[in-house]
A and B are shown apart, each in its own frame.
Chain A
Amino acid sequence: MSTHDEWSDWAAQWRTQPVVDIERLRRRTLAKRWRMLAMVVFETVTAIGALVQTGWLFAHPGLGLRWKLFATGGTVLVVVMWSITLWLRRGTWRAAGSRVAELLRLDARRARAGIRLAQAQLWGFAALLVGVAVLAWPSLQPSAWMHDAALRRLLLVQIGANAPIVLGGVIFCLWYIRRQRRRLARIAQLKAELGMV
């Protein structure tokens, strides 16, 4: 069989693939687009609402320092959550019409940035633990809590509440770093397959 015939044969077989329901695909795509749009609007309105509320609390003259600190914490939390949302959604902004090589380079840059971020987070956890240990050192001495039931309870509550959060954060960061490293390996493999190396 000639090369041309072989390709023609394969092309004919290739086109016997099942017909796709285009109308269903169109409906689902538009519905997904609306859902994504609605999510962005909801997040924006929520973030603006939270900022207005915390701003009002901060500016209110009748409120004490405790509430003002609460307002500051709230504002920081909103900004952090908003940043995380943007970070997680960054993959959806890529230019779909770009070349595969550019997309792979972008993916690799993001994976490396993700690893750096997670490593910084691990150092942050370590710094937090050291800082807390230094501050609480006098209270952590057995002589301090052995005969003080209230202090003992407080330490137990603090350790019980915060240890799972810190441990969970550390596990997440390690898992994330591993995942991004696997992604980088896969990108390198794809680049090799595409002759980009």
Chain B
Amino acid sequence: MGARNRFAEVLQAHGGLMSRIAASYEADPALRDDLLQEIALALWRALPGWRGEAGLRTFVARIAHNRGASHVLGEQRQPRPGALPEDLPDPGIAPEQHAHARQEGARLQAAVRALPLALRQAVTLALEGFSHAEIADALGIRVNAVDVRLSRARQALREQLGESA
């Protein structure tokens, strides 16, 4: 299989994961788009080195978080007033439902972005359905550290989402 085809397949399978991780690091739509592109480029470079020692999803998540952490080293920006997202709506949901789900999703995104980096990284992976062992593998930490981080993150999310509700 050619490198291009392989890259396209991985992007197709894990593009959503990459996009959501990028969104957990950057609120500005244009900068998030740039970050997503950086993640995709890093994935293209790293993909030939993947030997299957970790699951592909874990590998992709690790690259996305590493790029995200590098991005955080720059200045964090707030979204410009009135900036419209360029993303496409999910066609499977009715408009009213979509608007409500979108609003709830946006609140959760903002709450996740407000978490300290260590908690944020663990939470995004947990929300993506990663097991605690997979999160530990992706972030290079022990499983009990994952437990602690997720427990703290849950508390913080509850407080934040409860406050803004």
Q: Are A and B a genuine interacting pair, yes or no?
A: yes
Cross-chain contact B37 with A107 (CB below 8 angstroms) = no
**CB < 8 Å neighbour of B46 from A13, A19, A96, A183:** A96
Task: Return A62 CB to nearest CB of chain B, in Å.
Answer: 49
With A20-B15, A25-B11, A96-B63 known as contacts, the answer to whether A101 contacts B140 (CB < 8 A) is yes
The DSSP consensus for interface residues of chain B is: helix
Cross-chain contact B108 with A29 (CB below 8 angstroms) = no
| A-B CB pair tally, cutoff 8 Å | 134
With A10-B127, A193-B118 known as contacts, the answer to whether A19 contacts B104 (CB < 8 A) is no
With A10-B108, A10-B157 known as contacts, the answer to whether A20 contacts B36 (CB < 8 A) is yes
Task: Return A16 CB to nearest CB of chain B, in Å.
Answer: 4
With A96-B42, A97-B63, A187-B73 known as contacts, the answer to whether A14 contacts B8 (CB < 8 A) is no
Q: What band does the interface of chain B fall in when counting residues whose beta carbon is under 8 Å from A?
A: 35 or more
Cross-chain contact A17 with B37 (CB below 8 angstroms) = no
Cross-chain contact B127 with A26 (CB below 8 angstroms) = no
Identify 28 residue pairs between A and B in the complex whose beta-carbon atoms are under 8 Å apart, listed by A's number. Answer: A6-B158, A11-B128, A13-B108, A14-B108, A14-B112, A14-B127, A16-B90, A16-B102, A16-B104, A17-B19, A18-B88, A19-B16, A25-B37, A28-B40, A29-B7, A29-B40, A29-B44, A33-B44, A96-B42, A96-B66, A96-B67, A97-B50, A97-B62, A99-B140, A100-B139, A101-B140, A103-B66, A103-B69
